[in-house]
Amino acid sequence: DQRDASRRLAEAADSIRDNKLKEKIRYSKGLIRSRAPETAQAFEDEIGSDIGDLQEKLQAAEQAVGQAAGDSMAEALDRTRDLMRGLESLEHRIAREGEQAAGEPTEGEGQQGQPGQQGGQQPGSQSAQGATDGQPGVGDTVGDPFGGGGWGNRTPGSYFEPGEIRQWQREFQERLGDAQDIRRMLQQEGFSAEELNEIIQRMQEFDDTRVYQSIEVLAGLQTMILEELKRFEYRLRREVDAESEELFLAASDDVPPGFRDLIEEYYRALSREN
Give the bridge partners for 110, in sequence order.
117
* Domain closes at, from 125, 150, 175: 150
CB atoms within 10 A of CB 132: 8
How far is the CA of 122 from the CAs of 111, 119, 125, 132, 156, in angstroms? 15, 8, 6, 19, 12
Q: Which pLDDT score is estimated for 131? A: 42
Q: Could you give the CA distance from residue 266 to residue 271 in angstroms, rounded to a whole number?
A: 9
Whether residues 208 and 267 share a domain: the answer is: no
Whether residues 9 and 80 share a domain: the answer is: no
> From first to last of its 274 residues, what are the pLDDT tens digits of the chain?
555 656 666 665 565 555 555 555 665 555 555 555 666 666 566 666 766 676 676 666 666 655 544 578 889 999 999 999 999 999 999 988 877 766 654 444 444 444 444 444 444 444 444 444 444 443 333 333 333 333 344 444 456 889 999 999 999 999 999 999 999 999 988 888 899 999 999 999 999 999 998 888 999 999 999 999 999 999 999 988 876 555 444 444 444 555 555 555 555 655 555 5
Whether residues 53 and 124 share a domain: the answer is: no
Q: Could you give the CA distance from residue 260 to residue 98 in angstroms, rounded to a whole number?
A: 64
8 A C-beta contact, residue 70 and residue 8: no
Q: Which pLDDT score is estimated for 85? A: 96
Q: Which pLDDT score is estimated for 260? A: 56
**How many domains are contained in the chain?**
3
Whether residues 169 and 252 share a domain: the answer is: no
8 A C-beta contact, residue 213 and residue 157: yes
User: Coil, helix or strand for 147?
Assistant: coil
Whether residues 138 and 76 share a domain: the answer is: no
8 A C-beta contact, residue 266 and residue 50: no
Cα three-residue angle 172-175-176, rounded to 5 degrees:
85
Q: Could you give the CA distance from residue 171 to residue 218 in angstroms, rounded to a whole number?
A: 14
Residue 214: give its domain's CATH number: 1.20.120
Whether residues 51 and 173 share a domain: the answer is: no
Give the bridge partners for 117, in sequence order.
110
Write the CB contacts of 255 (distance below 8 Å, at least 6 apart in sequence): 12, 13, 16
Q: Which pLDDT score is estimated for 97? A: 84
Whether residues 65 and 11 share a domain: the answer is: yes
Whether residues 56 and 174 share a domain: the answer is: no
Whether residues 184 and 63 share a domain: the answer is: no
Whether residues 268 and 140 share a domain: the answer is: no
Whether residues 190 and 223 share a domain: the answer is: yes
Whether residues 217 and 95 share a domain: the answer is: yes
Note down the domain range covering 19: 2-70+245-273
